[in-house]
Amino acid sequence: MKPDDSYDIIVVGAGPAGSTAAAYAAKNGLSVLLIDKKKDIGTPLQCGGFLPHYETLKELVPNAELPYTLENYPSSCIHTTTSYQRFIAPSGKSKGFDVNADALDRRRFDRYLAKEASRVGAQLMIGTSVNSLNGTTIKTDGAFGEHTIKSKVIIGADGPNSIVARSKGLIREIDIMGMGNAFEYELSGVDVDKDAVEMYFGKEYVPGGYAWIISQGGNCANIGVGIREALFEHGMCARDYLDKFMYEHPIASNKLKDGSIISIVSGIVPVGGAPKKTATKDTLIAGDAAGHVIATNGGGISTAMIGGKIAGETAVDFINGKCALTDYDKRWRLQMGLEIKTAVYIRKLIDGLMRSDSMMSQAINAISPEHMKAIQCGRLPDVVKKSLLKMNIGLG
């Protein structure tokens, strides 16, 4: 396509945050250009696709106004539905809680969101990279040639290594423990629990992180590890840890070792929280670019979409003279900032416990299923906080 010379809003990145931002801006009558460097939206994948149901999300982020695209999305985007989340301690003992969620086909889901943005009026330009930003003017290059395009607002939803964020100084403090590596296999020929998502802990297999098994229905599953590079043993990489989990873990390997790898997914997950500023006078960032991730589970689909909705709406209000663009910071933090900030704090507490398998097993054994669910949602009950602090002191 040949883009216009100017738009009200340019959104960089057509993942869950960017497509949602573009949809909400276009629905309100503004001209929107949605750009993505991928030639095929949704590929390559960079994370798994665990998404709690709409009613559950309202409990997880009670102050947030959820996007309509989280309530109704095509059944074709769903591999299977689960009803339970199980934690397996290093000792092998397990505990869990009820949670209704979908295991998404992320390629189809991301394409659905991009198509929805297009349906309500946004123009989509794929296979296009942003080479430079000067104020709200961008220079692009890619499948449709080189272009210089002006706008009134830029929304950066271009991932944890966001070009937009770097160009505008909207970056978080350096924290080597705040950036995780996710590495995942899609397997066929496995027999896993189809009703549960499983999370495994243990420093031998996932130091400072966890491994997961998510059924895709039938005899297929996603398995993966979320781990920080700073904790890798010398000579090890994320793939090595996933292989070790798949073939050597005393519980998981019995379910997985005979499976065939049919797809590999990898990506970076920002679990260090949001930067101090996520907006300037002419630019917003959302999704992974803004650290919109629940650090206790690495989940970011729903929070990215909430951030995208707020970004799109704030851009509309700004252009219509109803607010300053920097009001975006306050708006998204009011809706989900507490959960994101608390999850980072919990992650740091648990980092200490993960140095010891026995202490991590003790923590999982001591925390009730109700409190485990709260922690996964980025909430920290006082009784759990006291218990975790006491355990960390014992480690010292």
136 in the same domain as 86: no
290 in the same domain as 376: no
252 in the same domain as 291: no
Question: According to the model, what pLDDT value does residue 47 have?
Answer: 65
Whether 212 and 199 have beta carbons less than 8 Å apart is answered as: yes
Q: Per the domain annotation, does 131 fall within a domain?
A: yes
144 in the same domain as 64: yes
191 in the same domain as 52: no
Domain housing 325: 6-74+106-175+272-342
Question: According to the model, what pLDDT value does residue 48 have?
Answer: 64
69 in the same domain as 124: yes
348 in the same domain as 335: no
62 in the same domain as 16: yes
306 in the same domain as 370: no
Question: According to the model, what pLDDT value does residue 124 have?
Answer: 97
Instruction: Tell me whether residue 107 is exposed, middle or buried, using C-beta atoms within 10 angstroms of its C-beta: 0 to 12, 13 to 18, 19 or more.
Output: middle
196 in the same domain as 184: yes
Question: According to the model, what pLDDT value does residue 81 have?
Answer: 94
187 in the same domain as 166: no
Question: According to the model, what pLDDT value does residue 42 have?
Answer: 81
The structure's pTM equals 0.92
94 in the same domain as 217: yes
Nearest-angstrom CA–CA distance, 288 and 355: 27
Q: Which of 270, 296, 315 is the last residue of a domain?
A: 270
Render each residue's pLDDT in the chain as its tens digit; 396 residues: 788 899 999 999 999 999 999 999 999 999 999 999 999 998 766 666 889 999 989 988 899 999 999 999 999 999 999 999 999 999 999 999 999 999 999 999 999 999 999 999 999 999 999 999 999 999 999 999 999 999 999 999 999 889 999 999 998 765 545 567 889 999 999 999 999 999 999 989 998 889 999 999 999 999 999 887 777 888 898 999 999 999 999 999 999 999 999 999 888 887 788 999 999 999 999 999 999 998 877 778 999 999 999 999 999 999 999 999 999 999 999 999 999 999 888 888 887 788 889 988 988 888 888 888 888 777 777 887 787 787 765 454
